[in-house]
Amino acid sequence: MSEVLIEDSARTRIVSLNRPEARNALTRGVIRGLTAALLEAANDPEIRCVILTGSGGHFCAGADLRRNLADDPEMMEKLDQYMDEYHALIRAVVRCPKPTVAMLEGAAVGFGADLALACDLRVASTTAYVQEKFVKIGLMPDGGGTFWLPRLVGTARAMQMILLAQKLEAPELASLGLVVKVVAPTEVRAAAMEVARELEAGPPLAYAAIKSALYASWGDLEDALRREREGQLKLLKTNDVIEGIMAWSQKREPKFEGK
């Protein structure tokens, strides 16, 4: 069974993470599949909108550390390669000239939160939440979270979300303007498709120009990704991260020592 599903509905391409047993946590193969799907949609003149979503009631629970290590025992020696591939996905979302819509249910955690924030628009079910949870295992956001959040919710709130790993539930996502609308889980696909239909009927050249101008006005995403890459690669080699991952796997609170 494919772990990335692609479906066309009229002129909208729906790209779904399909690892429901792992809350759609990301493997290297899934990252590559999502990036390829985004690039293909970007270059398809028949596609006017892209919806990114997850199967089984969750958007994305971040990176699947267990599966990645099981698939590649030498992963820790190739962290820079992994980071570059994750960042390639963020670039594919942001640089897509078509409007991108995240259809959110359940967890959008860690890199999954960054992926949702990288989309142009978001539609959420009442079960949806966004959480930058990296700090719980001694890490920092690495999918552009330090770029998106200060601009979307302000620096003070971004600090709270990142330093305290605060969870933003659906009502708060709506109050902060992070989502177009919040609906019942049974209605979230219809709500996302309603937004997509409006985008399909709009001017594609204007949308592409608007996206380019808006993101340029924010400053350089590339600088943010570079800073996150450098910081995360240093953190990934610390004892605190080993302790954080061990604590997470053992379902206990970590004891960080700053080493």
What residue spans define the domains of the chain?
A: 4-184+200-205
Q: Is pLDDT at 1 greater than 90 in this prediction? A: no
Q: What is the pLDDT of residue 48?
A: 98
pTM, whole model, 2 decimals? 0.93
Q: What is the pLDDT of residues 50-79, one digit of tens each?
A: 999 999 999 999 999 888 778 888 877 888
The mean pLDDT of the chain is 94
Q: What is the pLDDT of residues 106-120, one digit of tens each?
A: 999 999 999 999 999
Mean local confidence (pLDDT), 95-115: 97
* C-alpha separations of 224 from 96, 104, 231, 241 in Å: 19, 25, 11, 22
Task: Name the nearest CA neighbour of 62 among 175, 185, 165.
Answer: 165
The pLDDT confidence band at residue 40, using thresholds 50, 70 and 90, is: very high
Look at residue 27 and give its three-state secondary structure. Answer: coil
CB distance 137 to 241 below 8 Å: yes
Domain 4-184+200-205 has CATH 3.90.226.10: yes
Q: What is the pLDDT of residues 122-135, one digit of tens each?
A: 999 999 999 999 99
